[in-house]
Amino acid sequence: MSYLLTEDQQLVQKNARDFAMQYLEPLAVQLDKTGEFPAEAVKKMASYDFLGWFLPTEFGGADFGYLSYVLGVEELSRASAAVASIVVNHSSAAYAINRWGSAEQKKKYLPALARGEKLGAVAMSEPGPGVGQGPEAVIATQQGGGYALNGRKSYVANAGVADVYVVFGCTDAAAGAKSLAAFLVNAKAEGLEVGPKKSTMGLRARPTADVGFHNVAAEVLGTVEGGAAIAAEVLAAFAVAEAAQTVGVVGVAVQHAAKYAQQRVQFGRPISTFQAIQTMLAEVNTNCYVARLAVYDAAALIEQGKPFTTEAAMVKLFAQRLGMNSLLETLQIEGGYGYSEEMLMSKLFRDVSGTTILESPLEFPEQVIAASIG
């Protein structure tokens, strides 16, 4: 890797790689089969500061920076994209609180999030065509000195295991998304109901469920008027971490396919000597290399406090194409062997679909990129 990583960043990367190989790799296949939440693995990651990678030391975080965070996410994803996704969704909630929380809110939530005593989740998607649309849209109404939420969020990652939710709801039903605001909600709040865990194609060990709100007490995160800007930045920062997951999965897939190609013999020689196979491997590996550099660059912008939403959108768009296309190529190289549910490639194929399409609508990258040109 030619990207100029500091010694500290390389150490974070190595620690995450060693942890993934020692603790996550032996669990990954079983977690994929059972879909069981890896409570002990999450607890172990907390002891390694993985749940507070970029959070300030004053709140118990490691303060390694956002680039170190995505380096770690990539390495965890190489062993278990599901476990990495738990970390990414938790960290997205922590990012929002650290970025927009009041001094009191930071003190209340961040130390526990950094230590893994609490897990975070972001509740964005809704059953309707968009946030603030449809009969089950989450609407916030003033109640006493705070707000009460009513409605339902769908496909909330970490639902059921999270202790605090960053929830996006509208303060004006008629205005819809134009009145979007961000709220903090305690998972134990009266009226909050987590639905049954959803059965997903991939990322099976990461809990996903709908969350219902019935006059649930909530505190505003940031300002009531600033919800749309908060949502946009949270989604952009999430997209960079999510792309790191994709790069990790694709990196493992191309290595696995290359090894298989060296061992598989046809017409008296390894298929790795066939030009068609070499072309497929070369293209996947090249695209993975380019995506990795783009992820690191966008993460560095976030770490430096510079504008990054356009770069994040380009990373998101490229990662979407990289993920599924690369897994189709590597699966084709392994043929029937790779198609078997008992083998690694089918798991990687299912997981990469989750790292590319779950957390933000597919039109999000194109809209942001197109608007930035000129």
The residues near 354 (Cβ < 8 Å, ≥ 6 apart) are 81, 85, 200, 201, 202, 203
The pLDDT value given to residue 138: 95
> Is-catalytic flag, 104?
no
Q: Which of 233, 359, 363, 366 is catalytic?
A: 359
Which has the closest alpha carbon to 123: 72, 160, 178, 70? 160
Which tens digits make up the pLDDT trace of 263-282? Answer: 887 888 888 889 999 999 99
What burial letters (b/e) apply to 86-125, b meaning 16+ CB within 10 Å?
bbbbbbbbbbbbbebbeeebbebbbbbbbbbebbbbbbbb
- pLDDT of 87 > 60? The answer is yes
Q: Is the pLDDT of residue 215 over 70?
A: yes
Closest CA to 348 of 255, 263, 270: 255
pLDDT at residue number 44: 96
Q: What is the CATH number of domain 229-372?
A: 1.20.140.10
- For all residues of the chain together, what is the average pLDDT? 91
Q: Which fold has domain 120-225?
A: Butyryl-CoA Dehydrogenase, subunit A; domain 2 (2.40.110)
Angle at 356 between CA 73 and CA 209, to 5 degrees: 85
% of the chain with per-residue pLDDT over 90: 72
pLDDT at 146 over 80: yes
Domain limits of the chain?
7-115, 120-225, 229-372
CATH of domain 7-115: 1.10.540.10
Residues of the chain above pLDDT 70, percent: 95
What is the pLDDT at residue 336? 65
- The CA distance from 110 to 260, in Å, is 45
The model's confidence at residue 361, banded by pLDDT at 50, 70 and 90, is very low
Quick one: which of 346, 242, 235 has its CA closest to 291?
242
Structure tokens, 88: 């990414």
Whether 316 has a pLDDT exceeding 50, the answer reads: yes
- CA dist 217 and 201 (Å) reads 34
In CATH terms, are 7-115 and 120-225 the same topology? no
What is the average pLDDT across 185-204? 94
Separation of alpha carbons 297 and 273, rounded Å: 35
